[in-house]
Amino acid sequence: EKLEILEEWQSHIEGWEGSNITDTCTEMLMQGVLLKISAGNIQERIFFLFDKLLVYCKKKNRRLKNSKASTEGPRYLFRGRINTEVMEVENMDDGTADYHSSGHIVNNGWKIHNT
């Protein structure tokens, strides 16, 4: 049943890259919207934390005229995935503004290194 839920979730991701989510993961642990700062760009992304992957996506703009199009089909655009078994998470002190954040002051932040 958990795998069926993951398959259903993946069906809402447009442009998925790599193996199917059920090939590596068994459950979603958490999800939420975060600001991703990379190469000086600040982007709002929705992150999905699974038992073995961190997946991030962009919310897909939905058409409002056709109600069917707004309720079915892909909800997110795939942007990346990181294997949690090989990533390192580094806490950032509140008020940090370094070259990774292009001078933007970061609170409640961390850096993820894909090793």
Lowest-pLDDT range of 10-19, 44-53, 69-78, 96-105: 96-105
Domain-embedded: residue 56: yes
Instruction: Determine the average pLDDT of the residues in 62-85.
Output: 76
- pLDDT for the residue 29: 96
- pLDDT higher than 70, residue 99: no
- pLDDT higher than 60, residue 70: no
Domain-embedded: residue 102: no
Distance CA 40, CA 59 (A): 20
- pLDDT higher than 60, residue 69: no
Which helix (H) or strand (E) segment holds residue 57: the answer is strand 53-59
- pLDDT for the residue 97: 74
Domain-embedded: residue 113: no
- pLDDT for the residue 86: 92
Domain-embedded: residue 93: no
Domain-embedded: residue 98: no
Q: Considering the entire predicted model, what is its pTM?
A: 0.81
Q: How many domains does the chain have?
A: 1
- pLDDT for the residue 37: 83
Taking CA atoms, 114 is separated from 1, 2, 31, 55, 82, in Å, by 31, 27, 19, 13, 7
φ, ψ dihedrals at 107, nearest 5°: -120, 145
- pLDDT higher than 90, residue 28: yes
Domain containing residue 35: CATH number: 2.30.29.30
Residue 27 domain boundaries: 2-86
Taking CA atoms, 73 is separated from 26, 29, 109, in Å, by 23, 23, 33
